[in-house]
Amino acid sequence: MSSRFEITVDDRVLTAEVTGAPDGIPVFLLHGTPGSCAGPKPRSSVLYRQGVRLICYDRPGYGGSTRMPGRHVADAAHDVEAVADGMGLDGFCVVGRSGGGPHALACAALLPDRVARAAVLVGLAPANAAGLDWYEGMSAENARNHAEADQGDAELMREMTALAVRTAADPESLIEELRTQAAEPDLRFMQSVMYRRLLSASYAEALRVGPYGWIDDILAFRGDWGFVLDHIVPPVRLWHGADDTFSPASHSRWLAERIPRAEVHVQYGAAHFGAVEVLPRILSWLTA
């Protein structure tokens, strides 16, 4: 069973969804880029067995959530706190997948009294990460999108709008686009009819109102995140597939060296979408 609801934050609306055990330990799952709360997640029966109450929400500009132009990564902490307040939650855990990773770290840094543990799956490092070749190992198309964000968003806006229109009309087309950039483990993942269906549903919902959530995510990643990594207090677990071509594993290694209570696991023979399959294991760690 799942329940979807809306919550007002300042002058905006956020769409959220809760699945799993109603009395379970609350865990926020912060979706990827692009993505929505309709994205891949463990079945309710799995979440019940794990005693997890999984909370997802559409970041501003995605799905049913009002756009917030110029948002920073740090703004996710305010939104998560608002959803938690609306649900009457004092404490919780957070896990961010792909583009949700930096936003999960924002929650860990800025809500230390409420976040018990945090996890990042195939996440990104800041654009100004000293000593990191940010683009090394990244697919050419993904690197180009991030580079264009540095040069101003006019051209990026045009290209992403066209891509969003195509994806909204045919979500499978984005999966086919990603296949051209993917490593072998991800190609195997995309052969699954079930996972393709889940990804298609997430992309269709994410982009039904336009490309703005996607664009705002990319711009936020390239700008100042709005918090300091070495101020993070809760324990953090980072997981990465070694063959990831969308957000290279070197990003998680870099983060692990700068977050005080972080541990990192790089899994060989896995890539970006391995984060979907490893999530139940990560949820067990978060709620231990």
Which element (helix H / strand E) includes 52? strand 52-57
| C-alpha closest to that of 250 among 242, 260, 258 | 242
pLDDT of residue 152: 60
Cis peptide before 34 (omega within 30 of 0): yes
Residues 6+ apart with CB under 8 A from 281: none
pLDDT of residue 171: 87
The 8-class DSSP code of residue 241 comes to E
pLDDT of residue 1: 55
Please report, to the nearest 10 degrees, the dihedral formed by the alpha carbons of residues 77, 80, 83, 89 taken in order.
Answer: -100
CA geometry: angle 40, 280, 50, nearest 5 deg: 115
Residues 6+ apart with CB under 8 A from 188: none
Strands 115-121 and 92-97 turn out to be parallel
pLDDT of residue 163: 81
Q: How far apart are CA 3 and CA 66, in angstroms?
A: 19
| C-alpha closest to that of 7 among 154, 157, 16 | 16
To the question of pTM greater than 0.75 for the whole model, the response is yes
pLDDT of residue 158: 80
Q: How far apart are CA 262 and CA 39, in angstroms?
A: 26
The Cβ of residue 282 has, within 10 Å, a number of other Cβ atoms equal to 22
Per-residue pLDDT of the chain (288 residues), as tens digits, is 579 999 999 999 999 999 999 999 999 999 999 999 999 999 999 999 999 999 999 999 999 999 999 999 999 999 999 999 999 999 999 999 999 999 999 999 999 999 999 999 999 999 999 999 999 999 888 887 777 666 665 676 787 788 878 888 888 898 998 999 999 999 999 999 999 999 999 999 999 888 889 989 988 998 999 999 999 999 999 999 999 999 999 999 999 999 999 999 999 999 999 999 999 999 999 999
| Alpha-carbon separation of residue 229 from 116, 120, 243, 259, 286 (angstroms) | 16, 13, 25, 6, 19
Please report, to the nearest 10 degrees, the dihedral formed by the alpha carbons of residues 171, 120, 249, 240 taken in order.
Answer: -80
What's domain 2-286's architecture? 3-Layer(aba) Sandwich (3.40)
Amino acid at 148: E
pLDDT of residue 148: 67
Amino acid at 229: L
Three-state DSSP at 165 gives helix
Q: How far apart are CA 172 and CA 154, in angstroms?
A: 26
Q: Which residues pair with 13 in a beta bridge?
A: 8
